[in-house]
Amino acid sequence: MGTYINPGNQAFKRINTPNYIDKTGLIELFNERIGGDESLVCVSRPRRFGKSYAAKMLTAYYDRSCDSHSLFDDKNIACSESYTEHLNKYNVIYLDITTFTSDLQTEGHSLRDIPKVIQDTLKNDLKESGFPVNTKDSLNKCLLRCVEASDGKPFIFIIDEWDAVIREAKDDTIAQKRYLNLLRSWFKNGSFTPKAVAAAYITGILPIKKDGSQSAISEFDEFSMLDPLEYAGYVGFTEEEVKSRCKKKAMNFKDIKSWYDGYYFTETGSVYNPYSVIKALKTGKCQSYWRATSVANPLIDYIRLDFDGLREKILRLMTGEHITVNVNGFQNDFESFEDSDDVLTLLIHLGYLTYSADYHTVQIPNEEIRGEFRQLLKQKKLGAGWIKLIKRSETLIKDVCAGNEEAVAATLEEIREEQYAPQFYNNEQSLRAIIKYAFISTYDQYCSIEEMPSGKGIADVAFIPAPYSPLPAMVVELKWNKTSGGAIEQIKKKKYTAALKSMKGNILLVGINYDEKTGKHTCMIEQG
């Protein structure tokens, strides 16, 4: 048993606790590929979505140096016909690429050296594990010797954080090229791959780096946050898994759903961030457990510079809109951005946005991630235009609370004319978009609900203050070519404030109308 060659099952033992959610169905999917033409798989996920757990599970299952029956006999995989056929039958190479990038950077070495370091490390590990190798030979030659010594049994490669070099050496194309060439020597080598590689499972945040319009290692089948297909159930926790866990912990599932739901795939329905759900269940508190990393820092500059209209798109996402995105041009790195769609595609892979493969649209997935965008948009680096919008939005809220109806209407005019002009401004839906955009500064203190069922109908937009906020609740009714007074009467007649009765009278009724003939907004405000 070595460090990288057949590392055993201890890593999986540590996570195989009573709270472990059984994801061993992934093994069955991978078993179907071993030794075939589709034996190379890249499964990319955002951070905190269980990538390393899956890699450790696969290592424990395939590693021939240990006996893992006790770890898997009570799991779903034990019911599969392929269970015993592959259990502990292979030599495994397990690599976490971040251990190499971290060590090199700590020691002050260039990431251009990483292929040599990996190869030398594996050769030494093979020798220390008792394989008949000569460390002066090439790594591939050593691996072929190991296959011969193992009755012709090829290796299974399991690589965690495969894209660490692409991320860490984002400005160094030479380092990236050398690293990709190492992977090609394993997985795209006609004289080596069929003999030495039974299968490969690589995982990271990004899909495989593109070489022009194609993947640099095109033999891999890729399953990403864009469309994970049959691997969708292993992206994170499914809704049934979360419901089951909430029941065991006696925690309100609806609270968990409102905070962490939002990633959706046709094959499975809703999928949840495992890390955040586990933390919420452990602490009994639904809050943000997402931790922004330096990966997202360059995005601030792109928003500040309003790269290809990115700022407006981010703000529209903040107001709850779904935005059409072309994901095909993204080069699967952190530097090659041709347009705002490339930046938004990166945000999908990072987990900041969720993508509908059916409609080719993105949106912010849940309350937790919306909070991260709030923090992002508070950055002073975002520039004068953003600061102007925030100040206008803050003034708007003050005027609403003070009942300054004409000032509210005037601010809406300014925002529409100068900072947000929908492509089509011709109905209540487009007016609603303006309202959400204009109230952007409230996202720290309000939860906004569109089309809220209440009383005898559905209110257009309700703003419910956070527990710590001194601001009043607001019920906003929108009209097109009618009157703001008529909007107020509809709120009263249909009792839209019924759902907010716990606010004890601290409610404002806000009616807003847009008249196409005059091109003006009008506003009426009353105490509820």
Give the pLDDT confidence of 281-292 residue by residue, as tens digits.
999 999 888 865
Q: Which two tokens stand for residue 180?
A: 């990709």
CA 232 remoteness from chain centre: 13
CB 22 within 8 A of CB 66: no
| Helix, strand or coil, per DSSP, at residue 91 | strand
pLDDT computed for residue 437 by the predictor: 73
Give the pLDDT confidence of 174-183 residue by residue, as tens digits.
999 999 999 9
**DSSP H/E element including 46:** none
Q: Which two tokens stand for residue 296?
A: 């997202």
Distance, in Å, from the CA atom of 94 to the CA atom of 233, rounded to the nearest integer, reads 23
pLDDT at 423 over 70: no
Report the range out of 58-67, 206-215, 337-346, 396-405 with the highest average pLDDT.
58-67
List 384's β-bridge partners, or say none. Answer: none
Distance, in Å, from the CA atom of 103 to the CA atom of 427, rounded to the nearest integer, reads 58
CB 432 within 8 A of CB 425: no
pLDDT computed for residue 378 by the predictor: 67
pLDDT at 370 over 60: yes
CB 244 within 8 A of CB 208: no
Q: Other C-beta atoms within 10 Å of 74: how many?
A: 12
Distance, in Å, from the CA atom of 77 to the CA atom of 397, rounded to the nearest integer, reads 56
**Residue with token string 């894209």:** 163
Distance, in Å, from the CA atom of 53 to the CA atom of 55, rounded to the nearest integer, reads 6
| Helix, strand or coil, per DSSP, at residue 439 | coil
**DSSP H/E element including 485:** helix 484-493
List 159's β-bridge partners, or say none. Answer: 95, 202
**Residue with token string 């059409």:** 324
Give the pLDDT confidence of 309-356 residue by residue, as tens digits.
887 788 778 877 889 999 999 999 888 889 999 999 999 999 999 999
**DSSP H/E element including 493:** helix 484-493
Report the b/e string of 484-505 with b at 16+ CB within 10 A.
Answer: beebbebbeebebbebbeeeee
* Least confident segment among 205-214, 220-229, 238-247, 399-408: 205-214
Q: Supply φ then ψ for residue 80, to 5 degrees.
A: -85, 145
pLDDT computed for residue 11 by the predictor: 95
CA 195 remoteness from chain centre: 37
Q: Which two tokens stand for residue 314?
A: 């981010």
CB 458 within 8 A of CB 452: yes
Q: Which two tokens stand for residue 265?
A: 């795939």
Q: Which two tokens stand for residue 301?
A: 């500059």
| Torsion 213-218-224-227 (CA) sign | positive
In order of their start, the domains of the chain are 10-223 (3.40.50), 234-283 (no CATH), 294-382 (1.10.10), 384-527 (3.40.1350)
| Torsion 209-113-96-183 (CA) sign | positive
List 458's β-bridge partners, or say none. Answer: 453
Which residues lie below 8 Å from residue 355, measured CB to CB, with a gap of 6+? Answer: 225, 226, 227, 325, 327, 348, 361, 362
pLDDT at 255 over 80: yes
List 238's β-bridge partners, or say none. Answer: 271
| Helix, strand or coil, per DSSP, at residue 238 | strand
Selection from 524, 235, 500 nearest residue 404 by Cα: 524
* pTM greater than 0.85: no
